[in-house]
Amino acid sequence: MTLKADWEIVGSPIDPDSDERLFFTDHEWDTIEAAAARIIPTDHDPGAREARVVVFIDRYLSGIDYIFAAADGSGFLKLTGKFADAWRARMFDMQQTYRDGIKALDAVARDQFSKAFKDLGESEQDLVLEAFSGAPKPGPVTLGSSLAVGTFLQGTFDQGLPFFEALCLHTRQGFYCDPVYGGNKDQIGWKIIGFPGPKSLKDTMDGTYSTTEYFVEEYDWNELVPHLGKAG
């Protein structure tokens, strides 16, 4: 059996401009593209639509060919053995979550506005998402306040998430992921929040991509840590 350490690199980076659908039907594609555009909307900056989030999600849901990019971004790893089985089962469940979720979203849209979700105006779509999520549309972050929250987990895995939570997470991932995965086209997501990001994953493997300019240029440890001076 091929060991995980020896997974082959196959395929190539995902083309964000592709209109080919590997998983979604046309209706599903249009619905997800429209919903993602309400999760990260287009304003004076591009949003999920321009970043090609729908391509990212379609490829992810298509099976297990686009789970892990090769380290250098030249293609994707071909999973084997128990890992492949686990991911296949997981993606089967996630496909179902999306298929059922899109139907449920349309049902709410038809119930409230007698149209499919994708055919609604933006504010109507927001009302549907609000009803669907069971919570008011999030309001702006305000400064001058404190907000206590509970436990924090490192790394967010999508297994078992309900449709709306999965869609919000996947939209975020498609907006900010390395472009090898088909989203974050032309590094749109990174540009609007001011993250420099590497030109390619390969550049993070050999020292080409460096972020030292974002560290402090001039400093004196004795000033930052006065105890050093006292000890000396």
Partner 1 sequence: MRHAKKPDQVDAIVVGLGATGATAAKVLSEAGLKVVGFDRGPWLSAKDHYSGDELKFVNRNYLWPDPNLFPRTLRHDETSAAERFPFSPTPQLVGGGTNHWAGWVPRPRESDFMVRSLHGDIEGASLADWPIRYEHLEPYLTKVEWEFGISGIAGADKYEPFRSKAYPSEPLRPTKFGKRFYEACNKMGINGFPIPHAMVTNNHKGRDPFNTTSFWNQYGDPSTARSNTLTTFIPEAVATGNFELRSESFVREITVGKDGRATGVVYIDPDGNEVVQEAKVVVLGLGAIESARLMLMSKSPQFPDGLGNSSGMVGKNATFHEYVFAVGLFDQEIDDPLHGWAGNYISGGTFEFYETDENRGHIGGCLISASQTCHPINWVFPGRPQWGQSLKDADRSYFNFAMKIGAILHDMPVESNRVDLDPTVKDAWGLPVARITHKPHANDVAMSKWQVDKNAEILQVAGARKTVPVYLDRMTGNTCHQHGTARMGTDPSKTVLNEWCQSHDVDNLFVVDGSCFPTSTGVNPTLTMMANAWRVSEYIADVWSKGREEHITLAG
Binding residues among 200-229 for partner 1 as defined by CB under 8 A: 201-202, 204-207, 209-212, 214-216, 219, 221, 224-228
Between 107 and 204, name the residue whose CB sits nearer to partner 1: 204
Between 55 and 69, name the residue whose CB sits nearer to partner 1: 69
Q: Does 154 bind partner 1 (CB under 8 A)?
A: yes
Between 29 and 47, name the residue whose CB sits nearer to partner 1: 47
What part of residues 35-54 is at the interface with partner 1 (CB under 8 A)?
38-41, 43, 45, 47
What part of residues 174-203 is at the interface with partner 1 (CB under 8 A)?
176-178, 180-181, 189-190, 192-195, 198, 201-202
DSSP 20-55: --SS--HHHHHHHHHHHHHHS--SSS--HHHHTHHH
φ and ψ at residue 211, rounded to 5 degrees: -120, 20
* Element of type H or E holding 226: helix 226-231
Q: Which residues of 132-144 are buried (b: 16+ CB within 10 A; e: fewer)?
A: bbeeeeeeeeeee
Minimum Å gap between C-beta 40 and partner 1 is 5
Looking up tokens 């402090």 gives 216
Minimum Å gap between C-beta 145 and partner 1 is 6
The answer to whether 37 touches 49, Cβ cutoff 8 Å, is: yes
Between 114 and 159, name the residue whose CB sits nearer to partner 1: 159
**Tokens representing 188?**
């749109």
Radius of gyration of the chain (CA): 21
CA distances from 99 to 76, 102, 159, 204 (A): 25, 6, 16, 37
Binding map of partner 1 across residues 87-126, x = CB under 8 A, - = no contact: x-xx-----------------------------------x
Q: Does 134 bind partner 1 (CB under 8 A)?
A: no
Minimum Å gap between C-beta 42 and partner 1 is 9
Q: Does 158 bind partner 1 (CB under 8 A)?
A: yes
